[in-house]
Amino acid sequence: MLAYELAAYGPPLSHQLGEVAEPQVAAGQVLIAVEAIGLNFPDALMVQGKYQKRPQTPFVAGRDCAGTVTAIGAGVTAFKPGDKVVAQVFSGAFAEKVAAPVDRVFLRPDGVSARDAAGAVTVFNTAFVAVAIRAEVKAGDRVIVTGAAGGVGAAAVQLAVNLGADVVGIVSSEAKAELVRRAGARAIVIAERDPDLLKQAFKTQVRQAWGDDRGGNVAIDTVGGATFDAALRALGFAGKLVVVGFASGDIPAAKANYLLYNNLTVMGAPLDIHFDEALERIRAGTSYWLDLLSQDKVQANVSTILPFDQLMQGLQDILDRKVTGKIVVTVGAAA
Ligand SMILES: NC(=O)c1ccc[n+]([C@@H]2O[C@H](COP(=O)([O-])OP(=O)(O)OC[C@H]3O[C@@H](n4cnc5c(N)ncnc54)[C@H](OP(=O)(O)O)[C@@H]3O)[C@@H](O)[C@H]2O)c1
């Protein structure tokens, strides 16, 4: 079969599509014939060896895929050949066939295409962890989302809106703002490039958006660096800042005096560990947003479809900050 097997870590365009042996389906796994692959920022980190976990090379990279089950391993009762599924694996998704552990495989509801499901699975699962499990967003909460036109950001805006929250999104340009408006945000703040200006202007603009001085209840931060500082300052009394990622490449430090001053909480929202430590909650979350997707209440925002041999260019485009919405790669008969 064709796959991106990494011989060594390196920039996206250093990796090539090639022939590898098909994976064997083990006990507790299903074999999926892949139709669509979703690309994510963490994939771009992984292929460079910059992700927090570094599998031994050679290995096939890739985390999100959707397709059809073609075989099941011993002990599998929840799936059968022919089932239409989406999977979020740790590695192996950049391939025509994937052997996926059943804990990480989900049936696709009628009406949810392989492309939308593959484009949505990591970003909506991450947003669910951040918005619903960690911040426990509820109706009426004021929620700030940074990197709001990115994959996780746009999913977080939509989930928060569906939970009845009042959302302000931060993006880098007017060109990216439209997607966030469509996602249901009340207001958009275009981020200042200068870090000091960003901190001051964001606090003021967020307060203007809500029309009073109370600030936000929750900030979901996918960007880090100066944006993290700005989001922290835009929170009101007892606000919660949820750390999702560092798309800026800058891991910030929270000043403890600031947390004390305004009674704030900073918390992490790691997705993968929820499959080990809180499987039922994350699987319930996946069912929740797949249902919203099937009812058209949230959108996967797939903006670009690439052929399999262009996959690494897609990862480079993510790193170059050229992407609004999600890139999906089509494979096999779907291509
Ligand atoms: N916690 C978890 O388990 C988990 C899971 C998935 C992803 N993540 C992390 O979450 C972050 C966002 O992931 P994603 O898939 O949403 O990425 P994405 O689709 O590429 O979106 C990232 C957004 O960050 C903004 N950004 C601001 N400064 C940037 C910079 N210097 N370089 C690149 N982007 C910048 C960009 O928006 P503007 O250009 O509008 O500013 C972009 O839309 C990443 O750090 C990723 O590793 C964490």
pLDDT at 124: 98
Q: What is the pLDDT of residues 100-138, one digit of tens each?
A: 999 999 999 999 999 999 999 999 999 999 999 999 999
Asked if residue 335 has pLDDT above 60, the reply is: no
Predicted model pTM: 0.96
**134 within 8 A of 111, measured Cβ to Cβ:** no
Mean pLDDT over 38-55 rounds to: 96
Helix (H) or strand (E) holding 219: strand 216-221
Mean pLDDT for the chain overall: 95
User: Residue 75 has which token pair?
Assistant: 């002990």
Length of the chain: 335
Nearest CA to ligand 1 atom 5: 126
Q: Is the CB of 270 under 6 A from ligand 1?
A: yes
Helix (H) or strand (E) holding 241: strand 235-243
| Structural domains of the chain in order of their starting residue, each with its CATH number | 2-122+273-334 (3.90.180.10), 138-269 (3.40.50.720)
Q: What is the pLDDT of residues 174-201, one digit of tens each?
A: 888 999 999 999 989 988 888 888 888 8
Number of H helices, E strands in the chain: 10, 17
Alpha-carbon span 281 to 37, nearest angstrom:
24
Mean pLDDT over 59-66 rounds to: 98
Q: Is the CB of 233 under 6 A from ligand 1?
A: no
Mean pLDDT over 276-301 rounds to: 97
Atom from ligand 1 closest to the CA of residue 51:
47
pLDDT at 194: 86
pLDDT at 201: 84
Give 150 Cα–ligand 1 centroid separation in angstroms. Answer: 6
Atom from ligand 1 closest to the CA of residue 173:
40
Q: Is the CB of 151 under 6 A from ligand 1?
A: yes
Strand partners, 6: 59
Residues ≥6 apart with Cβ < 8 Å to 117: 36, 66, 86, 108, 290, 293, 300
The separation between the first and the last C-alpha atoms of the chain, rounded to the nearest angstrom, is 15
For 303, phi then psi, to 5°, come to -105, -20
User: Residue 302 has which token pair?
Assistant: 């797939």
pLDDT at 333: 66
Q: Exposed, middle or buried: residue 109 (CB in 10 Å: 0-12, 13-18, 19+)?
A: middle
